[in-house]
């Protein structure tokens, strides 16, 4: 990755050289003292080298292909007055800036860096603090948001913005960013073919990652921890979710992953650990859940409403308070060859598969759905007894819901 990164950079420099681009140096004691000034005098494909210092500027409009390169993280202080950098040109690179104090407004979504209808942009190594919106892409395609750090101080949802927001944007790579304490860590709306990789989105008010009406996106190897809820995927199609970690999303409506009106997605090799709800599924169809680990969640999987042809196979369900919870008696989803730590069956023929099926839905989860206070009776002997009787002859829980081939050993 590093090599590619370097190559990219060298190529860029070479391009710069061939295009005989020049470098404009900006510093508080230089001839050019402000970024706006620098942009004004720069020609296309020039580089603005911004030296260490504090630049109290906002509303910086970049309307030509430029590279803004910060040296030792110069500070751009917007003094809460509004948007700070707006990119309205193709081929713009922003690198190594420290941007603080974005203005907060109830009518305009001020961002630290906004990209409007532009292509081939690169935003990297940027640090954003005290922001409203962080990086906001608006109808912009083929760009890259790489290795940025966005640390907000959001307290309430209504007056806070998102860390990275994509709106009507396509073919964007969002990689290795760290987003904390904003509303949604990363938010996608009407954005297709997006790759989200190796980001860390933590402590956000609402979602770590949020998809709305976005299709054919991939997110892999990200970590979502301690957000209001980990990831929400809504009204989107063909989303691939691989190798992510959803952790400690605790609270009343907290879940690792929320799927709402989703079809044809795949969820592979993810880890859901210590969430109130691992995956909350509503009206979602044809989704494959494979090789995931569900560890110590309140509810590993909670199925609400009509969900059809979901396939759960080869997952590990480890020490969840409840493995699966349904709110209806109907089931059209299949469970096969998962490992359930709560399974108590035996394997006489030693083929690694339990000889009696496992029923992951407990009567108790049904009771808790209806009377939430009963949760305090979790793991009591009385509950175990009635769960057992329900297991023997299902009355309240779907009777065809079972894993006929439960694994005897945890899948590695």
Partner 1 sequence: MIKILKYSFYDLMRSRWSYIYFLFYLILGFVLLFLNNDVSKAVITLMNIIIILVPLIGTIFGVMYYYNSKEFTELLLAQPIKRSSIFLGQYFGVAGSLTLSLVLGLGIPFVLYGLFKSDAIFDFSLLLVTGAFLTLIFTALSFNIALSNENKIKGFGYAVLLWLFLAVIYDGIFLMSLIIFKEYPLDTFSLTATMLNPIDLSRTLILLKLDISALLGYTGAVFKQFFGTNTGLVISMVMLVLWTAIPVWRLSYKANRKDF
Footprint of partner 1 (CB under 8 A): 248, 250-252, 254, 274-277, 296-299, 318-319, 321-322, 341, 367, 370-385, 410
Between 285 and 320, CB nearer to partner 1: 320
**Burial of 158 from C-beta contacts in 10 A (0-12 / 13-18 / 19+):** exposed
**How buried is 162 (Cβ within 10 angstroms: 0-12 exposed, 13-18 middle, 19+ buried)?**
buried
Tell me whether residue 107 or residue 252 sits nearer to partner 1 (CB atom). 252
Residue that the structure tokens 């952790």 belong to = 247
Nearer Cβ to partner 1, position 207 or 339? 339
Contact 213, 162 (CB under 8 A): no
Residue 205 to residues 229, 253, 256, 298, Cα–Cα distance (Å): 8, 12, 14, 20
C-beta of 21 vs 229, nearer to partner 1: 229
Question: Smaller CB distance to partner 1: residue 187 or 299?
Answer: 299
Please identify, using beta-carbon distances, which residue of 28 and 251 lies nearer to partner 1.
251
From the CB of 234, what's the least distance to partner 1, in Å?
20
Q: Is the distance from CB of 46 to CB of 21 less than 8 angstroms?
A: yes
Shortest distance, position 385 Cβ to partner 1, whole Å: 7
Q: How far is the CB of 298 from partner 1 (least distance, A)?
A: 3
| Nearest distance in Å: CB 64, partner 1 | 52
Please state, in angstroms and rounded to a whole number, the distance separating the CA atoms of residues 94 and 379: 55
Cβ–Cβ < 8 Å for 390, 363:
yes
Cβ nearer to partner 1, comparing 98 with 224: 224
DSSP state of 64: S
Nearer to partner 1, 106 or 382 (CB): 382
Measure Cα distances from 238 to 140, 263, 288 in Å.
Answer: 21, 6, 11
CB of 318 to partner 1, least distance (A): 7
Q: Supply the minimum distance, in Å, between the C-beta of residue 302 and partner 1.
A: 9
Residue 148: which of 111, 200, 108, 193 has the closest Cα? 200
**Minimum CB distance to partner 1 smaller for 146 or for 358:** 358
Report the Cα–Cα distance between both ends of the chain, in Å, rounded: 28
Shortest Å distance, C-beta 287 to partner 1: 23
3 state DSSP class of 249? coil
Report the nearest approach of partner 1 to the CB of residue 208 (Å): 16
Give min distance, CB of 85 to partner 1, in A: 40
With vertex at residue 337, the alpha carbon angle to CA 197 and CA 363, rounded to the nearest 5 degrees, is 100
Rounded to the nearest angstrom, the gap between the alpha carbon of residue 63 and the centroid of all alpha carbons in its chain is 31
Considering beta carbons, is residue 2 or 379 the nearer one to partner 1? 379
| Pairwise CA distance, residues 235 & 233, whole Å | 7
Task: Provide the Cα torsion 400, 402, 404, 409; round to 10°.
Answer: 180
- Distance of closest approach, residue 251 Cβ to partner 1, in angstroms: 6
Provide the CB-side half-sphere exposure for 268 (13 A, CA): 9
Helices (H) and strands (E) in the chain, counts: 4, 39
């Amino acid at each position: 990755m590093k090599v590619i990164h370097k190559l990219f950079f060298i190529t860029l420099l070479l391009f710069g050289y061939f295009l005989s681009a020049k470098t404009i140096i900006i510093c508080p004691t230089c001839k050019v003292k402000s970024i706006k000034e620098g942009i004004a005098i720069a020609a296309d494909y020039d580089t603005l080298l911004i030296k260490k210092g504090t630049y109290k500027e906002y509303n910086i409009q970049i309307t030509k292909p430029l590279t803004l390169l910060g040296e030792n993280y110069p500070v751009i202080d917007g003094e809460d007055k509004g948007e700070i950098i707006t990119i309205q040109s193709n081929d713009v690179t922003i690198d190594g800036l420290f941007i603080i104090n974005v203005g907060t407004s109830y009518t305009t979504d001020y961002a630290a860096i906004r990209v409007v209808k532009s292509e081939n942009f690169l935003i990297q190594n940027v640090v954003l603090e005290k922001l409203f919106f962080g990086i906001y892409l608006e109808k912009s395609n083929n760009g890259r948001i790489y290795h940025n750090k966005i640390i907000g101080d959001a307290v309430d949802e209504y007056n806070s913005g998102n860390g990275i927001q994509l709106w009507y944007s396509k073919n964007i790579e969002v990689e290795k960013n760290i987003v904390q304490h904003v509303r949604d860590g990363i938010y996608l709306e009407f954005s297709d073919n997006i790759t989200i990789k190796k980001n860390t989105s933590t402590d956000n008010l609402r979602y770590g990652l949020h998809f709305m009406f976005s299709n054919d996106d991939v997110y892999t190897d990200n970590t979502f921890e301690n957000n209001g809820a980990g990831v929400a995927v809504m009204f989107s199609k063909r989303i691939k979710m691989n190798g992510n970690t959803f952790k400690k999303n605790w609270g009343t409506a907290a879940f690792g992953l929320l799927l709402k009106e989703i079809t044809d997605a795949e969820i592979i090799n993810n880890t859901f650990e210590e969430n109130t709800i691992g995956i909350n599924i509503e009206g979602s169809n044809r989704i494959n859940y494979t090789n995931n680990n569900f560890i110590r969640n309140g509810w590993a999987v909670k199925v609400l409403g009509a969900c059809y042809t979901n396939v759960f196979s080869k997952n590990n369900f480890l020490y969840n308070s409840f493995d699966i919870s349904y709110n209806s008696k109907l089931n059209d989803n299949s469970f096969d060859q998962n490992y359930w730590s709560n399974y108590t069956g035996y394997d006489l023929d030693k083929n690694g598969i339990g000889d009696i099926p496992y029923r992951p839905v407990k009567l108790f989860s049904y009771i808790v759905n209806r009377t939430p206070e009963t949760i305090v009776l979790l793991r009591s002997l009385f509950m175990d007894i009635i769960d057992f009787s329900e297991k023997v002859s299902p009355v309240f829980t779907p009777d065809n819901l079972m894993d006929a081939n439960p694994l005897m050993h945890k899948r590695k």
